[in-house]
Chain A
């Protein structure tokens, strides 16, 4: 029941905001801020009720939906989905909160889009019925399409149409795979899919169907090209949600669908997946180094970091001899931590860029320099986020990447060495950007007249900084939540 409320309260609030209209924007703003914060506390309450010792689904709700095809409105959460839902409910109020400082026109529609999007994202993470999952997964495209298209930058229409078509093309193949699985099992329940026996060829076809959808979303090289465009043109809030949560859906999909449903195909495809992950980590990292636009740089850095998620999800398949459950466990935990950590860090970086953009209306690195002399408080936070992006020990970025690299070391030392290159490349592109933007001499006249960060801008950034630090020094609450689920997933994959 509680998940039901998490999904529908934001969506209904979004509709109310639309009905209230443009004239009552202030009222809508306060209302949505209140409701989305309440939703966050509701999810915290759910976290407290969550039983860490169970691997099964909790808070399950199952109501017949389309009888004819045995489709149920089936919700529930486990250790994989709970952290991602928390991430969603945590970032949504922040995004709505920042709408006021960065937006001029049609704010009520903007807020409504985000509220509806929030409900749908929670729906994606909590659907236990593949059909329901697909409905939420696709429906999410509509608010995102509008957010980039209406409130985006100069080239927004190109970016948003590209985003839409890319992701739509990917997901329709997933739909075919899901329908095929339904024909095999007579049910749309995801857990029924786990038990169906398929030949290797069938598995590979199904794996590819899911891969199209998840690879575009995550995104993996070479289907990543929509992401930099979408990020650059999207408004700050859109970039935050896109990087922090939408990308995670690809990783979530691998763990929820690809690995348990088609373990043999995953084994078969693992070398390709690992190669693509390494290309993302190294090559895209180098591409990030060459960027002149801050948002584009962070976008490429996101692709590079998400390479660790795919690496962690597939690297244990190429172990020599029988698969070691501990390694599987470690690798998948690493992928999960990396997802949460990247969600926080990328959100924070995009918000920080938003703070600078609101002042100078440019994202071009060359037009910055010496920010620290005029905005010292802001610079402290920005440098902290940059360091966590470069995986500084003590931040969440370090925990995620280290765990994946450790698991990789157990499997193959060469792959581990290659992936560890990110520690150098990541530090290079992030710190070089910081050097040019934050430090150095003031080259742009406008910077001299800028006030430092105001309190209202500092609040969301400080909250995120706190969480990054918390996971960095004490990841136990997070790992404890996931452990049992990941263990049972490891059994499904390796056992």
Chain B
């Protein structure tokens, strides 16, 4: 028993941090606005360190009657989550909305959800993690209480999310009816898995997954929440939950239902293509910077799904690499938006970043890194993300899909270039007052921004890390 608790140390630390934050919140005065972020950062740093130790020791174990699994995948994913969350906390600005540390509280709750998702070995545990994550996300979107758009988008998000969860649960109930078990290992049964009922169940489950990822046609909440939520919440929503959704897909499709790969890979491919094309094409027509990033997220998810649809471990490795890289780029973009927003005036539209190069050359350079990286131009890290997926596609004889992917990437280049041209080419007659970052935010945003460039120049660490997550043996060679 003692051993089992040791294995979930990161989760326990996060849970304690949640209790501490609730307690602290009741006594917090407005002057101590950094308290929440400091607690959050320390928690994340500790958890990241512990997961790293687990990762090096290649701890492997199933606990709580096989409901909860500590393996290489879960530890690696948790480590990534905590590390990115650490940067996000350091880069978050404190202002009126998050003085009371509610924001950090909700975010840490969501991170707990991601941890549970990553470790789940049973559909119930999985659902527990999923709902912990999504419920905190609803709260995060709604946390900007004074704003009508935020409330509206939170409401939409909540209703759609509840429906998606219900559909997901409906599928799970099918699975239980057919298999009589919810444990992943026992679900992997080829005879049952190829029945039409099972395929129906899988289709329901995939609908739920697609919603959580924000894939077309379940994407409408993504641009809405990116636009409506406060910048700090948007920064979080656009990054960490995607890792949770990836865990969800991997655990379900690659572990529980791998016997059914032929069926689900087709569905995933279809969702991927739709997201890729629609997300990127719709983004062209947007003038709102955050909506652009929202639709771009849909497009990137399309690429990730296409990688997953290959159905091999190499495909999953490529998809995870793409996801981690995408999160780095988005974090850089939203952090830039976050630090140049002021309490009075949030950066929302393209016009708000006009001529940013003259007032904030460093921030706009990082934004430029992020944008060209999203286009997929080397030497930025985003290029390797696209290249790995393309390589795996060509390797699996899916040349036509690869061609669609690259043509859409070129179409998508237009709206990323548009962001760059507003920052660099447009002249601004009336300079708008923009915020200036403090030393911590500067450090955090610089680290994330430079990692886009430096990992691009030497990408081996990130490629090897993603490979090692799927199989510890690979770490050696």
Question: Interface size on B (CB < 8 Å)?
Answer: 34
Which of B378, B394, B460 has a CB less than 8 Å from the CB of A183? Answer: B394
| Interchain CA distance A345-B315 in the complex, whole Å | 50
B375 CB contacts on chain A under 8 angstroms: 168
The contact string, 1 if C-beta is below 8 Å from chain B, for chain A 124-153, is 000000000011001101100110011000
Question: Interface size on A (CB < 8 Å)?
Answer: 35
A135-B378, A139-B379, A172-B409 known; A149-B421 Cβ under 8 A: yes
Question: Do A161 and B417 touch (CB < 8 A)?
Answer: yes
Q: Which residue of B lies closest to A152 (CB)?
A: B425
Q: Interface residues, chain B, CB within 8 Å of chain A?
A: 357, 361, 365, 372, 375, 377-379, 383, 387, 390-391, 394-395, 399, 402-403, 406-407, 409-410, 413-414, 417, 420-421, 424-425, 458-460, 463-464, 467
Q: How many A-B residue pairs have CB under 8 A?
A: 83
The contact string, 1 if C-beta is below 8 Å from chain B, for chain A 78-108, is 0000000000000000000000000000100
Q: How far is the CB of A241 from chain B (nearest CB, A)?
A: 18
Question: Do B425 and A149 touch (CB < 8 A)?
Answer: yes
B361 CB contacts on chain A under 8 angstroms: 21, 109
Question: Do A68 and B378 touch (CB < 8 A)?
Answer: no
Which of B379, B403, B425, B459 has a CB less than 8 Å from the CB of A176? Answer: B403
Q: Interface residues, chain A, CB within 8 Å of chain B?
A: 18, 21, 65-69, 106, 109, 134-135, 138-139, 141-142, 145-146, 149-150, 156-157, 160-161, 164-165, 168-169, 172-173, 175-176, 179-180, 182-183
Question: Do B460 and A66 touch (CB < 8 A)?
Answer: yes
Q: How far is the CB of A155 from chain B (nearest CB, A)?
A: 11
Q: Which residue of B lies closest to A66 (CB)?
A: B460
Which of B406, B413, B464 has a CB less than 8 Å from the CB of A164? Answer: B413
Question: Do A138 and B377 touch (CB < 8 A)?
Answer: yes
9 more A-B residue pairs beyond the given contacts A145-B420, A176-B403, with a C-beta to C-beta distance below 8 A: A68-B464, A109-B361, A135-B379, A139-B378, A149-B424, A150-B424, A168-B410, A172-B409, A179-B387
| Interchain CA distance A183-B390 in the complex, whole Å | 12
Q: How far is the CB of B321 from chain A (nearest CB, A)?
A: 11
| Interchain CA distance A141-B413 in the complex, whole Å | 12
Question: Do A176 and B394 touch (CB < 8 A)?
Answer: yes
Question: Do A65 and B413 touch (CB < 8 A)?
Answer: no
Q: Which residue of B lies closest to A67 (CB)?
A: B460
Instruction: Please list the 3 inter-chain residue pairs (A to B) with the smallest Cβ-Cβ separation, ordered nearest first.
Output: A135-B378, A172-B406, A149-B425
A180 CB contacts on chain B under 8 angstroms: 394, 399
Question: Do B424 and A142 touch (CB < 8 A)?
Answer: no
A65-B460, A66-B459, A175-B390 known; A146-B379 Cβ under 8 A: no
Q: Which of B375, B414, B425 has the most CB of A within 10 A?
A: B425
What are 23 A-to-B residue pairs whose CB atoms are below 8 Å? A65-B458, A65-B460, A68-B460, A68-B467, A135-B383, A139-B378, A145-B420, A150-B425, A157-B425, A165-B410, A165-B413, A165-B414, A168-B377, A168-B410, A168-B413, A169-B410, A172-B409, A175-B387, A176-B403, A176-B406, A179-B387, A182-B391, A183-B394
B403 CB contacts on chain A under 8 angstroms: 176
Q: Which residue of A lies closest to B409 (CB)?
A: A172
Which of B372, B395, B460 has a CB less than 8 Å from the CB of A142? Answer: B372
Question: Do A141 and B377 touch (CB < 8 A)?
Answer: yes
A68-B467, A175-B390, A183-B394 known; A142-B425 Cβ under 8 A: no
Question: Do A146 and B424 touch (CB < 8 A)?
Answer: yes
Question: Do B464 and A139 touch (CB < 8 A)?
Answer: no
A139-B379, A165-B410 known; A179-B460 Cβ under 8 A: no
